[in-house]
Amino acid sequence: MDNKKVLFLVNHDVVIYNFRLELVEYLINEGFEVHISSPKGEKIDRLIELGCIYHEIDMDRRGTNIFKDINIIKEYFTLVKKIKPRVVLTYTIKPNIYGGLVSRIQKIPYLTNITGLGSSFTPSSSPILKGILKFLYKISLKKSKCIFFQNKENSEMFDKLQISAEQSKLLPGSGVNTERFAYAEYPKNKDVNIYYFGRLMEEKGTYELLKAAKSVTEKYNNVKFHLVGFSEDEKLTKIIEKMHNENVIIYHGYQTDINKYIIDSDVVVQPSHHEGMSNVLLEAASTGRPVIASNIPGCKEIIENNQTGILFEPKNIESLINALEEFINIPIERRTLMGKLGRQKMIREFSRGIVVQEYMEQIFNIN
């Protein structure tokens, strides 16, 4: 193998460090030269220490400014032309589309990972935006060596939209490192600590969770709701701060390492409206914690309902409250068992080693 250069295109350093580190380490150990293009973040220095070559790029993950996005395409074009990698690995929407387009134009093999479709293909999304994205996906991914999907529904959506590549495969999300998120004994707290981890925003179900927290804490004085994450929504931030000051919730802000918080939890809740595959549910279940989540693609695959956790109807506050109250009234012995069964499922079906193996197979098969 003459060319052993691999280029990762991501929209955030966390995307690669938290969820693809094992793949990066494997590639480096196999003698590959690993390049990473990402906006600057606190995890980048750790990746450089591992031996990665870093290329900074400015990117607004959620922005729709066409002029800024044209700059991304230009930077990708220059970068790919300079590195001439054996393969480009793309993750998340903008790197998938723009990185795929540039790789196709330069005839560089590329592998695409659909980490989720965001809100763009929901029934309430703009038909114009949906049409533009469909067109961009079609031209960008047509020559992808493989599209990796994280849930079956996303794969079926692409089939329906007639977006195809040379081949596609279904992965167990990003997988979970079951050694890093090792089993921890279930806590014997007097209080029931309910944790939420992730971005605080409407699409993640934060408004429903806050309303449910207010209702549940008024009824149960031994229940504590913890929020760990960050908000880019000024209105939502003010509501969270107000509820924190009123002792309705405990807001921990953004944390780089959530492991200790998962260990402290009695249950982890994920009220998202849509997901690719929920990493935090994988990590919580791997640690031996029951999980409560929306009955949606990207969450329901992780949970054996009423065995390892509880599913509820998305965007439905009453259904969320019922699920929370059901869990609160479960004896600790059964909660402990739910956590152990969840851990077993993660080892059996969601090990990150499965994902690394699939990627390496594709990389080694590129001519």
Give the pLDDT confidence score for residue 364 in this predicted structure: 94
Give the pLDDT confidence score for residue 254 in this predicted structure: 93
Q: What is the 3-state secondary structure (H, E, C) of the chain?
A: CCCCEEEEECCCHHHHHCCCHHHHHHHHHCCCEEEEEECCCCCHHHHHHHCCEEEECCCCCCCCCHHHHHHHHHHHHHHHHHHCCCEEEEECHHHHHHHHHHHHHCCCCEEEEECCCCCCCCCCCCHHHHHHHHHHHHHHHCCCCEEEECCHHHHHHHHHCCCCCCCEEECCCCCECCCCCCCCCCCCCCCEEEEEECCECHHHCHHHHHHHHHHHHHHCCCEEEEEECCECCHHHHHHHHHHHHCCCEEEEECCCCCHHHHHHCCEEEECCCCCCCCHHHHHHHHHCCCEEEECCCCCCCCCCECCCEEEECCCCHHHHHHHHHHHHCCCHHHHHHHHHHHHHHHHHHCEHHHHHHHHHHHHHCCC
Cα 8 to its chain centre, rounded Å, is 16
* Domains of the chain by start residue, with CATH: 5-175+351-364 (3.40.50.2000), 192-349 (3.40.50.2000)
Side-chain half-sphere CA neighbours of 34 within 13 A: 25
Q: What is the pLDDT along the chain (367 residues), one digit of tens a residue?
A: 678 999 999 999 999 999 999 999 999 999 999 999 999 999 999 999 999 999 999 987 666 667 788 999 999 999 999 999 999 999 999 999 999 999 999 999 999 999 988 766 666 677 887 888 899 999 999 999 999 999 999 999 899 989 988 899 999 999 999 999 999 999 998 899 999 999 999 999 999 999 999 999 999 999 999 999 999 889 999 999 999 999 999 999 999 899 999 999 999 999 999 999 999 999 999 999 999 999 999 999 999 999 999 999 999 999 999 999 999 999 999 999 999 999 999 999 999 999 999 999 999 999 7
Instruction: Please give the torsion angle defined by the CA atoms of residues 289, 294, 300 and 303, in that order, rounded to the nearest 10 degrees.
Output: 20
Give the pLDDT confidence score for residue 249 in this predicted structure: 97
Give the pLDDT confidence score for residue 120 in this predicted structure: 66
Interval 160-209: pLDDT, tens: 989 988 899 999 999 999 999 999 999 998 899 999 999 999 999 999 99
Q: Give the dihedral sign, CA 284/223/324/304.
A: positive
| pTM: predicted TM-score of the whole model, two decimal places | 0.91
Burial degree of 202 (CB within 10 A; 0-12, 13-18, 19+)? middle
Contact 85, 1 (CB under 8 A): no
Q: Residue holding tokens 């709701």?
A: 225
Give the pLDDT confidence score for residue 320 in this predicted structure: 98
Cα 314 to its chain centre, rounded Å, is 18
- In sequence order, which residues have a C-beta less than 8 Å from that of residue 162 and are 6 or more positions away? 138
Give the pLDDT confidence score for residue 64 in this predicted structure: 65
Give the pLDDT confidence score for residue 66 in this predicted structure: 76
